[in-house]
């Protein structure tokens, strides 16, 4: 791989993404809208919930509206990251094909797409985490942002994989909605887990460890180092699979 080609491809993908003003606006306004809705609808009573990554059965207390804010933020970041990744693959595929004809290697194009995606996820996580500060102060802000970033990285890798596996935008969208809605948007809810009949299934889903990092950092001092490692492993597996499929095609 040549770094000059990677930088050129990175700049091209970033410019093409920046031209989509409506998409950039939605990336900012969608999480803010969800947070505002949570503030208007969620209860402000204290609730008790169990952290799902600790070995003990310790119970943590938090306001329902604060817990809902963190959970909804993670779910939204997972959704948006998946759709941005899908867009980077499917909407820019014609431009990527022209670059391949000009001598670029598929690995160089995929690497630049991953770099752009991770940059978008990082900015999105920092912005959403900063919005949460308007409503309450998490115990460990940057660790909470790290958990949000990991959630975005996991589903960003999944979006890249889906984009390279299917040709149709509709098929890719449905595949993203199916897993992201069930996993990040439902089963990872910390209030759902304690009473779940099959907890192992929930723990094996992609967003479990990364979401627990954010929740634990926001409301507890419990250790969660292994959850960061497992979240990174999930995201790396998705990215490696996406690179392999893209290279084969």
* Residue 206 DSSP class: T
Tell me: the pLDDT tens digits for 156-178? 999 999 988 887 778 888 888 88
Instruction: Provide φ and ψ at 20, rounded to 5°.
Output: -85, 80
- The parent domain of residue 108 ranges over 3-248
pTM of the shown model: 0.89
What percent of the chain shows pLDDT beyond 70?
Answer: 89
Tell me: the pLDDT tens digits for 69-109? 999 999 999 999 999 988 888 776 666 676 666 666 777 77
Instruction: Provide φ and ψ at 221, rounded to 5°.
Output: -105, 15
User: Is-contact 150 233, C-beta < 8 A?
Assistant: no
**59: three-class secondary structure by DSSP:** strand
CA distance 54 to 206: 18
The whole-number pLDDT of residue 213 equals 92
Least-confidence region, from 20-29, 61-70, 94-103, 218-227: 94-103
Q: Is the pLDDT of residue 192 over 90?
A: no
How many structural domains compose the chain?
1
């Amino acid at each position: 791989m040549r770094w000059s080609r990677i930088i050129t491809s990175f700049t091209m993908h970033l410019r093409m993404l920046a031209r989509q003003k409506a998409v950039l606006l939605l990336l900012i306004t969608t999480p803010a809208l969800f947070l505002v809705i949570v503030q208007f609808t969620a209860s402000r009573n204290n609730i008790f919930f169990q952290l799902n990554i600790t070995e003990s059965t310790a119970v943590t207390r938090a306001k329902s509206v604060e817990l809902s804010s963190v959970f909804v933020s993670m779910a939204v970041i997972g959704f948006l990251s998946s759709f941005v990744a899908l867009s980077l693959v499917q909407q820019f595929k014609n431009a990527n094909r022209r670059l391949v004809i000009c001598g670029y290697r598929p690995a160089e194009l995929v690497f630049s797409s991953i770099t752009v995606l991770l940059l978008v996820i990082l900015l999105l996580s920092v912005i959403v985490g900063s919005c949460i500060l308007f409503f309450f102060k998490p115990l460990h802000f940057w660790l909470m942002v790290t958990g949000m970033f990991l959630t975005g990285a996991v589903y960003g890798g999944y979006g890249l994989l889906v984009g390279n596996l299917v040709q149709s935008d509709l098929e890719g969208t449905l595949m993203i909605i199916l897993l992201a809605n069930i996993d990040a948007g439902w089963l990872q809810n910390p209030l759902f887990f304690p009473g779940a009949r099959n907890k192992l299934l929930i723990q094996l889903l992609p967003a479990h460890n990364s979401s627990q990092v954010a929740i634990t950092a926001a409301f507890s001092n419990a250790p969660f180092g292994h959850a960061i490692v497992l979240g990174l492993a999930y995201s790396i597996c998705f990215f490696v699979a996406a690179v392999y499929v893209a290279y084969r095609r």
